């Protein structure tokens, strides 16, 4: 068995890229675990009133964006319109 430094530079680079991709795929799949509805509500129930209020406002804004998108507006335009209506910056 040979050490990786004995391989040509192109081969070393290809192996390192392959290993990096595999590690990135592993970490990404761990980060994107789906949470159940009960888990999400548990997190919400633990939040302070101020956090709950902020989450509720954010949800309402998201629903408004979704409504505009469903009506045919592209997402960026919908986000700008909702931000303008809410007096927020986009």
Boundaries of every domain in the chain: 1-33, 46-86
Residues ≥6 apart with Cβ < 8 Å to 83: 89, 90
Q: What is the pLDDT of residue 28?
A: 66
- Whole-prediction pTM: 0.56
Taking the C-alpha atoms of residue 78 and residue 69, their distance in angstroms, rounded to an integer, is 6
Report pLDDT for 4: 82
d(CA 42, CA 28): 24
pLDDT along the chain (90 residues), means of 10: 85 92 77 81 94 95 97 96 91
pLDDT at 83: 96
Name the DSSP letter for residue 65: H
Output the pLDDT for position 31.
61
């Amino acid at each position: 068995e040979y050490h990786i430094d004995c391989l040509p530079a192109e081969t070393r680079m290809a192996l390192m890229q392959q290993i990096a991709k595999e590690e990135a795929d592993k970490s990404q799949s761990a980060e994107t675990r789906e949470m159940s509805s009960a888990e999400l509500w548990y997190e919400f129930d633990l939040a302070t009133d101020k956090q709950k209020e902020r989450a509720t406002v954010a949800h309402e804004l998201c629903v408004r964006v979704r409504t505009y998108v469903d009506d045919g507006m592209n997402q960026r335009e919908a986000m700008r319109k909702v931000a303008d209506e809410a007096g927020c910056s986009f």
